[in-house]
Structure 1
């Protein structure tokens, strides 16, 4: 993978591949339900890589179908039909995955997460809290950046150079703290190392005092769809000890991928 650049024509990310009506509608739906609350049309258009006029029409159609709700103040949120669909998918599509993740958490004694890629981010879909006196601030449904998290870097490492360029062009490489990789060339080197070893380390790059190890999850077609991670606090677990969890993590990620189908 060569040097990543942030050309303006890459800004839309997914839009270059979203030429047909179905792709546009799905990208708009994904962008509309992302985040922690109602979203404005302009933000949805930017994230979806679709012109505002088209986004407005698509949102109106999705609203009539119940997948999106118009708040009436220029913002949109998840509609009741989308919420119902999400629960149905969760019930059918994640059978057995919770047991795998719980088994890994019991084995290592630390918090385990699973996240699935959603456009230029990933979203936590499972969390198994460790039996520790502290609690991680993460929660199911939370979005996480790809460039500075163990799961995110695991996902990026399995994408093509052009796909990584598109993500970086769309999101940038914002610093979460002094440890975050914000240089594109440095990120390329990091992703090459992740591919070679099969797992990624977030060494306080997203949150200070939090160190994680993550592995990619693939579907049966071999495409990366997300990842599994083990999260620890730096004052209890050294980097070397964290790396020792890699075999169990990789095995769990493989099991999860098989269950996803």
Structure 2
């Protein structure tokens, strides 16, 4: 197995310290990594020479991240393809539960499905890539709506009665806002026959490098296969899938 270079590992350890601190001193770096100050000094000098770190103006013994790291991050983000990454993760989730898995994004008051991986069962969900549905009637839509701030949500919902797709659809905006508070707290959303009376869904958020909710992933199944065991297991499975896709989109879980 190829040997890792200790100095490179230490340099990367230093840069990663700045993920949760905008500025650090040489002493703080040494204490956090439990390294000799002379070693830290040499590494900092090297990182500053390449502009990966810069001295804080007026505080030369304190450092912050430099522009090359932004350029690298922007290059990484620019090469990310949500659909391509989502297809691979959705296939893995679908293989684990043998049910339909979708990835969708918000477009105004609707969701648009970007990815679908079907189950192998003869009875399956009728849907497809490009399908547009009212967000408030779907599990993926509820997740995406729950990621909006108050003004954004108000702009989407308006003040009038929301259109329903089944008798179970939530059509009262105030009731929906209350429902979305629970979605935010739980981290998952359910569609209990609100878009199709014969189907059930559970969804979780997909986040990008900034932590913003950019998509949602769901598992959907006919009510005949939505057993108590499935209801207990699939929320965790879709959380894991959404977390995997989020990591591929550059999201770093906060400690």
Relative to the length of structure 1, the TM-score reads 0.61
- Three-state SS of the structure 1 residue aligned to 2:104 is strand
Partner of 1:48: none
Mark the CA change 1:247 to 1:139 in structure 2 (over 3 Å): closer, same or farther: same
Cα distance in 1, alignment partners of residues 99 and 162 from structure 2: 28
Aligned CA distance change for structure 1 residues 149 and 92 (closer, same or farther; 3 Å): closer
5+ long unaligned stretches in structure 2: 1-77, 251-255
Relative to structure 1, the CA distance from residue 158 to residue 243 in structure 2 (aligned partners, 3 Å threshold; closer, same or farther) is: farther
2:132 corresponding residue in structure 1 = 143
Worse-matched range after superposition: 163-172 or 97-106: 163-172
Cα distance between partner residues in 1 of 2:227 and 2:163: 26
Equivalent position SS for 1:103:
helix
Taking the TM superposition and a 5 Å limit, the aligned residue runs for 1:17-96 are: 92-96=81-85
Higher RCO, Cα 8 Å, sep 6+: 1
1:208 to 197, 205, 224: 197
Aligned residues: 173
Q: State the match for 1:227 in structure 2.
A: 216
Pairs within 5 Å for 1:87-106 = 92-106=81-95
- Within 2, Cα distance between the matches of 1:233 and 1:171? 31
SS at match of 1:227: strand
Counting only pairs closer than 5 Å after superposition, residues 130-209 of structure 1 correspond to structure 2 as 130-169=119-158, 173-209=162-198
- Secondary structure of 2:158's partner? helix
What is the rounded CA distance, in whole Å, between the counterparts of 1:141 and 1:115 in structure 2?
9
Q: CA deviation at 1:243?
A: 3.9
Structure 1 unpaired stretches of 5+: 1-88
**1:113 pairs with 95, 102, 119, which one?**
102
Structure 1 residue 91, shift from structure 2 partner: 9.5
- Coordinate RMSD, CA, aligned: 2.2
* Cα offsets for 1:136-187 (capped at 9, x unmatched): 2110011121111000000111111111111112995111111000112211
Compute the TM-score of the two structures, normalised by the length of structure 2: 0.63
Inter-partner Cα distance in structure 1 for 2:183 and 2:80: 32
Which of the pair has more CA radius of gyration?
A: 2
Return the offset for 1:260.
3.2
Shift of 1:244: 2.0
Separation in 1, partners of 2:81, 2:212:
20
Using a 3 Å threshold, how does the CA distance of structure 1 residues 247 and 240 change in structure 2: closer, same or farther?
same
